[in-house]
Amino acid sequence: MNNCILEIKSISKRFGGVKALNNVSIKLFEGEVLALAGDNGAGKSTLIKIISGVYNSDKGDILFNGKNVVNNSPNYSRNLGIETIYQDLALADNLDVSSNIFLGRERIKQNFKFLQRLNRKLMFDESVNILNSLNIEIPKGSLKQPVASLSGGQRQAIAISRAIYWNAKILIMDEPTAALGVPEQRKVLELIHTLKKNKIGIIFISHNLNDIFSVSDRICVLRQGKLVCEKNINESNKEEIVSYMVQGHS
């Protein structure tokens, strides 16, 4: 069994009179894909925002590699190695691939008279290396084009590459195959398999049960803020998961 890298213990969160999460506990292991399923309003978004530091829970604990996360904020979580890739990807459409991978963390070189300039060659070379290491195929000519000109699957791959380059240990993927064509969906799922081999722990949120069953090791189903199902993916089926999502039981 791989190491448990993330443990959520008895997390609850309320927004006014609405209990978004009620005593939810889950674990994520190194190199595991944990699917998070549930209808809209089930609590999935609230849970991942607590894990990524956007929200603080009302009660409960988060343990990262066995240590309590006590100062939860997006920067704190990112520094631990928890990265979230939302549906909008947070890419700068007018910038090229390497500028996006290094966005906000650009590499600088010193010129004579202490002038500073961006080290574009280093950033380009490093970007090519991380793409190659993840078997991501983007034509070299396209790497210097604005990412707005790339396909949805390529853009998704760039967002993932950025997270991995900056040493993500846990990747939260929110609907990564939504709005992609079938060939591009397949490429993103292949990339998830590559991330597993690199021992990245992945929380995979999707409404597409075909995708969930093709890449996940375990699945947790949330309903009305409660964890109603936690199963190994090979011990369940789509009909059972739908039943848990709709009724809270099989």
Q: Per the domain annotation, does 72 fall within a domain?
A: yes
Residue written as tokens 């549930």?
A: 38
* Domain enclosing residue 40, as ranges: 4-81+169-247
pLDDT in tens, 172-188: 999 998 878 888 899 99
Q: Per the domain annotation, does 66 fall within a domain?
A: yes
Q: Per the domain annotation, does 64 fall within a domain?
A: yes
Q: Per the domain annotation, does 160 fall within a domain?
A: no
Q: Per the domain annotation, does 219 fall within a domain?
A: yes
178 burial (CB, 10 Å; 0-12 / 13-18 / 19+) is: middle
Structural domains counted in the chain = 1
pLDDT above 70 (res 113):
no
Q: Per the domain annotation, does 152 fall within a domain?
A: no
Q: Per the domain annotation, does 162 fall within a domain?
A: no
Q: Domain of 33: which CATH number?
A: 3.40.50.300
pLDDT in tens, 137-196: 898 889 999 999 999 899 999 999 999 999 999 999 999 988 788 888 999 999 999 999
pTM of the model as a whole: 0.91
Q: Per the domain annotation, does 110 fall within a domain?
A: no
